[in-house]
Amino acid sequence: MNDAVIIGFLQGLLEWLPVSSKSMIILYLVNAASVSGETAYSLAMFLHFSTATTALIMFRSDFLKVIKYIITREYSSCKDCSVLFRSLLVTIVVSAAIGLPLYLLTNFFILGLSGILLTCFIGVFLIFTGLFLKFSKSIKGFKSLEQITPVDMILAGVMQGLSALPGLSRSGLVASTLLMRNVEKETALRLTFIISVPIIYGMGIAELVIGLGFRTSLEEFGVINILIALATSFILSLISLRMMLELARRLDFTKFLISFGGLTLGLSLVTILLS
């Protein structure tokens, strides 16, 4: 039960930050709870259901606007609606086209690595995410939601798809990409969370249907513990989302990601050399 609460806490808190929540969950389960890589990845993906539901609740007005726009197509009454609709449509298609093959690649090859090598792999990608964030940090965006182009959303979809790999932060990569496309910071953060909802649900369903580690995770971790983790994540994310949006504007997560990734990689390499 302690492990369930801990991974629920990690998911609920870190999902809103440019820190890969699934990577932290995998690192904890593989190294502290002696869980296999396949099971850890499956649980990390499955827990995203809770935070996606939180985002759906928090941004429900935007989704309701899009649904109304799809039905009525009244552009004049809601100029943002057509942009939101196109953004969701483009990112769903692009993210799925890139994310699904990477998801299968991860399941078949990457998660088969030993715990030490998997930890090393995640460390490398944490550093990559940190460097990517650092590059976008100094850019001052000026584009409003209405000025966002299809190219902006295609690039955001590519980054969202790449985040299927362990160690890459979806929110960090997508928000940074939009910032580098000169999108206003608040608009970039808002869009990052909104476009994540459909693809998270989609990847979660894929995990249920074809996930190689899901059945094993039920046996290893237990249904009750999974439900506890989901509930913990959902409750915490409801409480923390608004706070995290504000912190994401003020805190510098670049140094944290590079430092933590370097520490993770260094410890893994030392362990390999000593083993």
pLDDT 10s digits, 210-234: 665 566 666 777 788 888 989 999 9
Per-residue confidence band for 271, with pLDDT thresholds at 50, 70 and 90: very low
What contacts 24+ positions apart, CB below 8 Å, involve 91-95?
Answer: 91/153, 91/156, 91/157, 91/160, 91/195, 91/198, 91/199, 92/157, 92/195, 92/198, 92/199, 92/202, 93/157, 94/153, 94/154, 94/157, 94/158, 94/160, 94/161, 95/157, 95/158, 95/160, 95/161, 95/199
User: Which pLDDT score is estimated for 177?
Assistant: 85
User: Mean pLDDT over residues 177-206, rounded?
Assistant: 85
User: Which pLDDT score is estimated for 232?
Assistant: 93
Average pLDDT, the chain: 78
- The radius of gyration of the chain from alpha carbons, rounded to an integer in Å, stands at 18
Selected residue with higher pLDDT from 170 and 74: 170
Residues with Cβ within 8 Å of residue 266, at least 6 apart in sequence: 123
Q: Mind spelling out the 3-state secondary structure of the chain?
A: CHHHHHHHHHHHHHCCCCCCHHHHHHHHHHHCCCCCHHHHHHHHHHHHHHHHHHHHHHCHHHHHHHHHHHHHCCHHHCHHHHHHHHHHHHHHHHHHHHHHHHHHHHHHCHHHCCHHHHHHHHHHHHHHHHHHHHHHHCCCCCECHHHCCHHHHHHHHHHHHHCCCCCCCHHHHHHHHHHHCCECHHHHHHHHHHHHHHHHHHHHHHHHHHCCCHHHHHHHHCHHHHHHHHHHHHHHHHHHHHHHHHHHHHCCHHHHHHHHHHHHHHHHHHHHHHC
Tell me how far apart the alpha carbons of residues 155 and 3 are, in angstroms, rounded to a whole number: 36
User: Mean pLDDT over residues 87-100, rounded?
Assistant: 92
Our count of domains for the chain comes to 1
Give the whole-number percent of the chain exceeding pLDDT 90: 14
Is the confidence at residue 91, as pLDDT, over 80?
Answer: yes
What does the pLDDT look like over 234-262, one tens digit per residue?
Answer: 998 888 777 766 665 565 555 545 654 56
Is the confidence at residue 82, as pLDDT, over 70?
Answer: yes
Residues with Cβ within 8 Å of residue 3, at least 6 apart in sequence: 28, 29, 32, 33, 221, 225
User: Which pLDDT score is estimated for 275?
Assistant: 43
pTM of the model: 0.80
* Structural domain harbouring 261: 2-274
